[in-house]
Amino acid sequence: MELRGAVALVTGASRGVGRAIAVALASSLLVGLIPAWQLARTDLRTALNDETRGFLDAKRLARTKRGVILVNTARAALVEEAALLAALASGHIRHAGLDVFHAEPLKPDHRLARMENVTLTSHAAFRTLEASETLMRRAIDIVRRIVAPTSPR
């Protein structure tokens, strides 16, 4: 599958695995990153609430370029599942990479689990040794700042 110049929509791209995927796509495919605010008025990296639930519905997905690759590492409910399934089945969404699901754990007989144009992983996919070490270092640094005596200036 040739992806050079393709359009990729990555939700949850502000940090962590979503950001890593977005940067990898941009650098390896020679495409630019398009911030969520340029795609729509609502930031997809926001908390799930009544305003963001189902933000990517059938109407918004239909406005994307045919063959878009959708990666959702944010919250499953930001994307309407029925609209996602229909767009994947029709080929409008070429491929979806998901680590969040409307019902967890995802049942083996769920349509998403049977589609060849879907890549599924657990929401803890970021949990590599390096990521865990970074989290521990950050936590230790925060504790040190809290308990360290402040020096007079």
Residues with a catalytic annotation lie at 75, 104, 123
Q: Which residues contact 72 (CB under 8 A, 6 or more apart)?
A: 11, 12, 78, 79, 96, 97, 98, 99, 100
Q: Are 97 and 70 in contact, with CB atoms under 8 Å apart?
A: yes
**With 0-12 CB in 10 A as exposed, 13-18 as middle and 19+ as buried, what is 3?**
middle
